[in-house]
Chains A and B, each alone.
Chain A
Amino acid sequence: MPKKDRMSGNEAVAYAIRQVNPDVMPAFPITPSTEIPQMVSTYIANGQMDTEFIPVESEHSSMSATIGAQAAGARSLTATSSAGLALMWEELLLAASNRMPCVLTLVNRTLSGPININCDHSDSMGARDTGWIQIYAENNQEAYDNFIQAYPIAENGKVHLPVMVCQDGFITSHAVQNIELLDDDTVRDFVGTYEPEEFLLNPGKPVSVGPYSISAYAMEAKKNQEAAMENSKEVIVNVGRSFERISGRKYGLFEEYRTEDADYIMLIMGSAAGTAKQACDDLRAKGVKAGILKLRVFRPFPAEEIAGALSKCKCVAIMDRCESYNGNGGPLSMEVCAALFKYKTDIEAISYMYGLAGRDFTVDHVYRIFEEMEDHINNGTDVEQYQYIGLRKQEQR
């Protein structure tokens, strides 16, 4: 029977890790993800799980050891944030290209500098092209649910790719919210046992992992990897459906909130979607045809599905919590605009930058953005195509 509880996002993910009880977990401390390996170590110390924990000397080594353990035939994972993810960047590529179905539970925190411990998506966005599946959570419940779905997605024979399960630093990771937890047996049945086909510790069937590959073969390896990423879209949807059967909670590539007749849609990821939904309700009460598209899966990028979901609205506000320093907008904005163009979706799109390094994002900001979209469509008012929300005014600096 599911039980109701109150937990932070980190507690929820650690609880899910205990339930899945993977074989090996190397990890290195970094705020705000540190609590996850701490809690796992405590579960192990008290005999509540028996995962082998490796207290490595860096995040580069945590991902290296995760790859080693996974290649050896063990279900493996690690946890990190920010600079930790940046340090393991090289290894993220190797986990994906060696087709390791391991999991990384990421607590999103900004990258330096200036050094700052608070939330934005610059860490995972920096790793967006490393070949990892990326799933984002709005709250602790989704962080918990997404973790439980991670191995069935990663280990699916059509996928064999690593999965990064993301939650927002502090906002989700440290804030205590209500949560519904599945019982241990239900989770274990859902995740199942790991049965790799080829692995290092297969007596009498040795295997070599991590080849040097000349140009005559390397491009096919990359294409196969890309095909696996394409395949994963369907698998993510199917795993979401199976998960609904045990939990009653629906998961897809994204969530459409009051979008069916919406003229104006805000496209957003992570914890700020909660703020956006509240503001959306307030605006709906005033008669504004507002809607929210909360992107859950950023990799694979559901370009066609997003374009389809936006096709009936007049204007979309694309919300980036990560600067890309390219002069045109954040990574989410770039990819959504490319999707709109590719699928010939002729709507207005405005790129907004919000919440960098933990800057607050409030319902007032959301109201103003919808107001701006309305003004732009109804009155033809010019709108700055790429703007920062919540920035200090010159005189306040």
Chain B
Amino acid sequence: MSYNLKEVMNKPERLAAGHRMCAGCGATIAVRGVLRALHEGDHAVIGNATGCLEVSSYMYPYTAWEDSYIHNAFENAGATLSGVETAYRALKKRGRLKENDNFKFITFGGDGGTYDIGFQSLSGAMERGHDMVYVCYDNGAYMNTGIQRSSATPMFADTTTTPVGTQSNGKLQGRKDLAAIIAEHNIPYVAQTTLTRNFKDMYEKSEKAIYTPGAAFLNIMAPCPRGWRYETSEIMKICLLAVETCYWPLFEVDHGKWILNYEPKKKLPIEDFLREQGRFKHLFKKGNEDLIVQFQNEVDRRWENLKYRCEM
């Protein structure tokens, strides 16, 4: 069935309004987008690593979650949901859930809780092949604690632990390629996406991730207005530029096959993506031209590598 934006948007919301996330935050757009891919009638248990999303969506005594939801700690969203998923199999096997009581298992973590402190727990859950989807909403820093660098933070970003100063141009290292690392776990489905083009890419990948039996991982670039310092209304434009500059390629690894889902007709220069964001402001100062060249070279190298993997 072809994707119909209006139809998809008319599905009942599974993350209710009234939560405390910021205006212009990518995380909630990602969460709502993923949950729309759940088929009607299917129950879900949503997991969540500690982070903005958790403290803003389930502040006692209010919850924004229409489905069952569990937050445990920062570094263990993978392990926690693996316990829930196993309990589901145990209760089904022992006849304590009815045959047609279907549950799906989706857990959300920011990049700090996923790339860094929760990496081991994620890797373990993926390797064991639990029938669950781990969704990383990647905003490229520890935003909840005040914009500290993570291993997902891009090169040269100005963060509170890689501050730009007279002796510093921001973060020295490039970002970890987590989607590729999880793909190397040889799980059935891995995809990278973001909030673009009527959410079609995100919706289709979410549906595949949720309904492919076994472990699945989604890496969703989800901008943060506080950490990236953009006008909240510009979020969709930034996501589009991330894709059009090939900073954030859209790809999937379906049962080991690498597939590039979108190739820009004309690859835009990386400045177009960087310029909108306060965290890269210093790159446009006179004398820092070579930093942008370095950034561009890194984007190009990774893009070529991805195309090679996708046999293009």
Binding site for B on A (CB under 8 A): 23-24, 26, 50-52, 54-58, 60-62, 64-74, 76, 90-91, 94, 200-204, 206-214, 217-218, 221
Contact = CB atoms under 8 A, between A and B. Distances in A.
Contacts of B58: 208, 210-212
A217 B69 CA distance: 20
A69 B84 contact: yes
A200 B47 CA distance: 11
> Which 3 residue pairs of A and B lie closest in terms of their CB atoms, listed nearest first?
A68-B83, A65-B83, A57-B124
Given A51-B90, A201-B91, A57 B127 contact: yes
Contact of B83 (A76, A214, A217): A76
Interface stretch (B60-68, B147-155, B175-183, B235-243): B60-68
Given A52-B89, A52-B90, A212 B55 contact: yes
B45 A72 contact: yes
A55 B63 CA distance: 32
A91 B83 CA distance: 13
A71 B97 contact: no
B39 to A, nearest CB: 15
A73 B83 contact: no
Interface in B272-301: none
Interface string B44-76: 010100000011001111010111111111011
B103 interface: yes
Contacts of B78: 61
Nearest to A21: B94
A200 B43 CA distance: 10
Nearest to B78: A61
Contacts of A217: 60-61
A54 B86 contact: yes
A57 B87 contact: no
Contacts of A212: 54-55, 58-60, 71
A233 B70 CA distance: 30
Contact of A65 (B43, B55, B80): B80
A200 B80 contact: no
B120 interface: yes
7 contacts: A26-B82, A57-B124, A58-B124, A60-B121, A65-B80, A71-B70, A206-B65
Given A61-B124, A200-B84, A206 B69 contact: yes
Given A64-B73, A74-B91, A212-B59, A69 B68 contact: no
B88 interface: yes
B123 interface: yes
B68 A60 contact: no
Query: How many B residues are at the interface, by size bracket?
Result: 35 or more
Given A54-B83, A67-B80, A69-B84, 16 more contacts: A23-B91, A24-B87, A50-B93, A57-B120, A57-B121, A57-B123, A72-B91, A73-B91, A76-B87, A201-B97, A201-B101, A206-B43, A209-B71, A211-B58, A211-B63, A212-B59
Contact of A71 (B73, B84, B128): B84
A306 to B, nearest CB: 35
Contact of B82 (A54, A74, A202, A203): A54
Nearest to B96: A73
Nearest to B45: A200
A212 B54 CA distance: 7
A217 B62 CA distance: 12
A211 B83 contact: no
B88 A56 contact: no
* Interface SS of chain A: mixed
Contact of B65 (A71, A202, A208): A208
A289 B60 CA distance: 57
Contacts of A60: 75-76, 79, 121
B81 interface: yes
Interface string B125-142: 001100000000000000
Contacts of B97: 201, 203
Contact of A213 (B59, B70, B73, B90): B59
A235 to B, nearest CB: 25
A56 B79 contact: yes
Contacts of B91: 23, 72-74, 201
Contacts of A72: 45, 83-84, 87-88, 91
B105 to A, nearest CB: 10
Contacts of A58: 120-121, 124
B81 to A, nearest CB: 6
A50 B96 CA distance: 14
Contact of A61 (B63, B96, B121): B121
A60 B87 CA distance: 18
A91 B76 contact: yes
A214 B90 contact: no
A218 B73 CA distance: 16
A210 B166 CA distance: 43
Contacts of B60: 211-214, 217-218, 221
Nearest to B61: A217
Given A201-B97, A201-B103, A210 B71 contact: yes
Contacts of A203: 43, 97-98, 101, 103
Contacts of A61: 76, 78-79, 82, 120-121, 124
Contacts of A70: 83, 87
Contacts of B59: 211-214
B107 to A, nearest CB: 10
B12 to A, nearest CB: 13
B72 A64 contact: yes
A56 B87 CA distance: 14
A243 to B, nearest CB: 25
Contacts of B76: 60-61, 64, 91
B70 A68 contact: yes
Given A24-B90, A58-B124, A60-B121, A94 B83 contact: no
B68 A207 contact: yes
Given A23-B91, A64-B121, A201-B45, A211 B84 contact: no
Contacts of B83: 24, 26, 54, 64-72, 76
B76 to A, nearest CB: 4
> Among the interface residues A23, A76, A209, A213, which one has the most CB atoms of the partner chain B within 10 A?
A209
Contact of B94 (A23, A55, A64, A213): A23
